[in-house]
Amino acid sequence: MNLANEERQSLINLAREARKFAYAPYSKYSVGAALRTKSGRIYTGANIENAAYPQTMCAERVAIFKAVSEGETEFEAIVVVTNNGGSPCGGCRQVMAEFGLNTIVLFADGDGNIKNEMTVSDLLPEAFTPAHLL
């Protein structure tokens, strides 16, 4: 799947907007995500930290869980925006792998500049997927 430039920019803008709602009082590392499903719906998320650190939820997983909770399990692309264009954590990579290794993942910085683009498969080689449970 290829994303047109205007689709990329639209998702980046939505992720940047979602990032404004991040709750990151401890790390000060705000993250926004925008997920496009195969049906064309868009779900956004922001990271939500917690004083009990392990209870923190990443923006990527917020967006994915919102989509799944509404019946969407097939994804085309996800954009992650951080101040420096950082990559998704290992936990988010595994959750992405659950729903499709061909999903496009874009990382952008706080100004909306794309820093990297790849598939989930590229991001998490040799991913453990539902097929391993058969």
* Distance separating alpha carbons of residues 97 and 6, to the nearest angstrom: 26
Pairing of strands 114-119, 104-108: antiparallel
* Distance separating alpha carbons of residues 123 and 104, to the nearest angstrom: 10
* Distance separating alpha carbons of residues 4 and 119, to the nearest angstrom: 16
What positions carry a catalytic annotation?
60
Pairing of strands 114-119, 75-81: unpaired
Distance, C-alpha 107 to centroid of its chain: 9
